Amino acid sequence: VHPDEKASLLRTAGQFADEVIAPRVQQYDADEHIPEDLMERMADLGMFGGVIPVEDGGLGLDFRTFAELVMEVSRVCHVMGSMISLPSALVGSSIHVFGSPEQRSRYLVPLAQGRIFGGAAVTEPGSGSDVASMRTTFKRDGDSFVINGAKAWISMLDYASFFVTFATRDRNLGRKGVTAFIVPKDTPGVSVHPYKNKMGFRPISTGDLVLNQVRLGPEHLLGDIDDGFRVAMTAVERGRLGVASRAVGVTKGCIDASMSYAQGRVVFGNPISTLQIVQSKLTDMLVGHATARLLTLSGADELDSGRRGRQALSMAKMYATDVAARSASDAVQIHGAYGVSPEYAVSRYYRDTKVLQIVEGSNDLHRAMTAEMALGTRSSGDEPRPPN
Ligand SMILES: Cc1cc2nc3c(=O)[nH]c(=O)nc-3n(C[C@H](O)[C@H](O)[C@H](O)COP(=O)(O)OP(=O)(O)OC[C@H]3O[C@@H](n4cnc5c(N)ncnc54)[C@H](O)[C@@H]3O)c2cc1C
């Protein structure tokens, strides 16, 4: 991306976040639904195109620019940051890498243009971190496949018109028996059941995706039979880059809110920004933001240089979300009672950053993986990454 184009893209995204998203985000967080017109306006700006190549309808961004774009929007609303990350993560890249030409033109192109939306359905009621222990099964019936099972905690239930999902032909085969499918939401036997009133990520419609005798033709197979685990793993690093970038954005939001509040709030005759204990929290946020940003962008650079960057992005996801959670907690503290009011964004940051520590690999898992990669007991992912 040419530096001028990059600057203009980031400026446009920042202005959109400040002028269009900021005045409405507290309300749509309470309403638990992203307004359709906001999604349409983001599509008009081309913001869903991300790293998807231009010939497939995307923006063809490098990963560094993509990360900076997500940070810029997430400074105001990381849920919108997640909306613009999704096509560049599992939903889009699995179709890009494993999809047939027909699947690419039917799903990937409109996805990159923000004309349709999709969800990635991996987690089940009994398996999250341990993806290969899924219970959803499929059986072949002539040319068709019949899927039975249920996925849990699946996002985009309201907006998605299709899901990339996974089923096994034999639960005893572990990762070897898994196959990936594209399941249109209107297929008979598919039903969605959103959870209401969740603590964080409230505007995203998340819940159960039930697959009851869902019959699919061969055109819904994504990749080869038994290749599903590889499909599921195509984009984990991209997903982690997206979450880390969202966390960096939220940390910046915490800094902006806390600086302005601390300079305006007078206690015992002086603005609280003059108190060293408040300054110390601001310093932690500033250092945390600067370091998390660098770590995240270095992970993006790994992807840009054609490597998977598994270790870098695992560390970035864990560190950036931990920094964001601590910054949000400190930001609420600085705001005193107003910190728990829905009038101020920091209570939203506090609720959402807890969830950022859980999704795209729980931070405990990343903590274990980082040491294992350093100890050589787990691959650190210097192998080439899947293509864009
Ligand atoms: C708001 C929201 C949206 C989501 N959206 C989606 C979606 O769109 N699609 C989708 O497929 N999933 C989605 N998820 C699910 C998410 O990916 C899982 O919650 C996550 O993978 C963790 O799985 P789990 O919740 O089953 O936790 P478990 O795997 O049961 O783990 C529980 C806890 O055990 C510990 N733990 C687990 N494994 C290890 C390990 N190896 N080392 C150390 N500690 C460990 C950690 O503390 C972990 O937090 C969403 C979740 C939320 C909350």
> Which residue's CA is the nearest one to ligand 1's atom 47?
364
Catalytic residue among 5, 360, 372, 383: 360
> Which residue's CA is the nearest one to ligand 1's atom 1?
201
pLDDT digits over 122-151, tens only?
999 999 999 889 999 999 999 999 999 999
Give 176 Cα–ligand 1 centroid separation in angstroms. Answer: 21
Give 128 Cα–ligand 1 centroid separation in angstroms. Answer: 5
Strands 270-271 and 206-216: unpaired
Give 258 Cα–ligand 1 centroid separation in angstroms. Answer: 30
Give 53 Cα–ligand 1 centroid separation in angstroms. Answer: 30
Give 363 Cα–ligand 1 centroid separation in angstroms. Answer: 9
Nearest to 99 by CA among 237, 240, 234: 234
pTM of the model: 0.97
Distance between CA atoms of residues 66 and 317, nearest Å: 15
pLDDT digits over 13-31, tens only?
999 999 999 999 999 999 9
Cβ–Cβ under 8 Å, residues 285 and 247? no
Beta strand ranges found along the chain (DSSP E): 117-121, 137-141, 144-155, 160-168, 178-184, 190-194, 206-216, 221-222, 266-267, 270-271
> Which residue's CA is the nearest one to ligand 1's atom 40?
365
Question: Cα-atom radius of gyration of the chain, to the nearest Å?
Answer: 21
Distance between CA atoms of residues 51 and 111, nearest Å: 12
Distance between CA atoms of residues 336 and 299, nearest Å: 36
To test the ligand 1 pocket, which listed residue (82, 86, 243, 365) has its Cβ within 8 A of the most ligand atoms?
Answer: 365
Residue 194 burial by CB count (10 A; 0-12/13-18/19+): exposed, middle or buried? Answer: middle
pLDDT digits over 39-83, tens only?
999 999 999 999 999 999 999 999 999 999 999 999 999 999 999
pLDDT digits over 279-309, tens only?
999 999 999 999 999 999 999 999 999 999 9
Name residues contacting ligand 1 (CB within 6 A): 119-123, 128-129, 153-155, 201, 206, 355, 358-359, 362, 364-365, 368
Nearest to 51 by CA among 90, 3, 18, 102: 90
pLDDT digits over 230-264, tens only?
999 988 999 999 999 999 999 999 999 999 999 99
**Known catalytic membership, residue 237:** no
The rounded percent of the chain whose pLDDT value lies above 70 is 99
Distance between CA atoms of residues 96 and 89, nearest Å: 10
